[in-house]
Amino acid sequence: MNLGLTPADTKENVAHNRRLFLEALGASTEGSGGTWPLVQLKQMHSAVVHRVGAPPRGPLAGDGIITDTPGLLLAIKTADCVPVLVADVKRRVIGAFHAGWRGTVARVVEKGVGEMRRQFGSVPRDLRAVIGPSIRRCCYQVGPEVRAEFDSQFPYSGDLFEEVFDANAIHVRYPMLFLTARAPGHSELGPELHLDLVEASRRQLEEAGIPAEHISIIDGCTACDTTRFFSHRAEFGKTGRMMAAIGIRPE
């Protein structure tokens, strides 16, 4: 069920899978037999958010989409990054956001909710948000440069990182460690630094004013469970794409 155009799959297969996806969502126009237009982005790990009122004529570059138009399906493609969907249940406004670590540092989720408030008058207490499956902290190792970026932007950055030392994992990756000058098993290797992108998106939703009880998180680590999910990192880039989608049914 790959839903993204990738070198490892054909356009025909992806088109077929997307038809099945839309049918499963019930995203069809009653009486016409047609499916809703699928509005996607050329995702670029940014904080660029687009407002759409109709299917765009060309590709939109960015990582967030918002609309109040019924019958459009806003979709985010992922294979480790965090998909975030937001709905204003009172004003019937929706948003879909793609949050990798760069987009998270740029506050794409927080900005997206802010654009819903600015452009449609959404009130945070009327918003409902869901965070979809993504790579979780258990598998998301990053470098100190990523930590530095987060530290420069968020006062709660320390809550998003964990130092992990897994001796078994290190010996699997580096089986020749015993050739160091120190006694076997006593090389001075620092712990791995792991980032919790899901918690980062959840904090941004709260910072944007959405009550904690209105935020849902779907369990599942894409890197841990490649039988259910696609993972760019765990599958070394040779993988498909999932979709998180949201739409407004016509009244």
Does residue 185 register a pLDDT over 70? Answer: no
Mean pLDDT of the chain: 91
According to DSSP, the residues that pair with 66 across neighbouring strands are 51, 95
What is the average pLDDT across 158-169?
Answer: 81
User: Strand (E) positions, 79-200?
Assistant: 82-88, 93-99, 127-131, 141-142, 161-164, 192-195
Q: Name, in order, each residue with C-beta under 8 angstroms of 31's C-beta and a sequence gap of 6 or more.
A: none
Q: What is the pLDDT of residue 217?
A: 98
Q: pTM here?
A: 0.89
Does residue 35 register a pLDDT over 70? Answer: yes
What is the average pLDDT across 31-43?
Answer: 85
Element (H, E) at 179: none
Does residue 165 register a pLDDT over 90? Answer: no
Q: What is the pLDDT of residue 143?
A: 95
Q: What is the pLDDT of residue 190?
A: 65
Q: What is the pLDDT of residue 186?
A: 46
For residues 250 and 152, give the distance between their C-alpha atoms in angstroms, rounded to a whole number: 43
What is the average pLDDT across 128-143?
Answer: 97
Q: Could you tell me the residue ranges of all domains in the chain?
A: 11-135+213-247, 141-195
Q: What is the DSSP string of 200-237?
A: HHHHHHHHTT--GGGEEE---BTTT-TTTS--TTTTTT
- Render pLDDT for 73-96 as a digit per residue (tens, 0 to 9): 999 999 999 999 999 999 999 999
Q: Answer whether 120's CB lies under 8 Å from 93's CB.
A: yes
What is the average pLDDT across 232-244?
Answer: 96
For residues 88 and 122, give the distance between their C-alpha atoms in angstroms, rounded to a whole number: 7
Does residue 181 register a pLDDT over 80? Answer: no
CATH topology of domain 11-135+213-247: CNF1/YfiH-like putative cysteine hydrolases (3.60.140)
Q: What is the pLDDT of residue 8?
A: 84
Q: Out of 92-96, 150-154, 169-173, 190-194, which region has the weakest mean confidence (pLDDT)?
A: 169-173
Half-sphere exposure of 248 (CA within 13 A, CB side): 21
For residues 20 and 16, give the distance between their C-alpha atoms in angstroms, rounded to a whole number: 6
Q: What is the pLDDT of residue 34?
A: 78
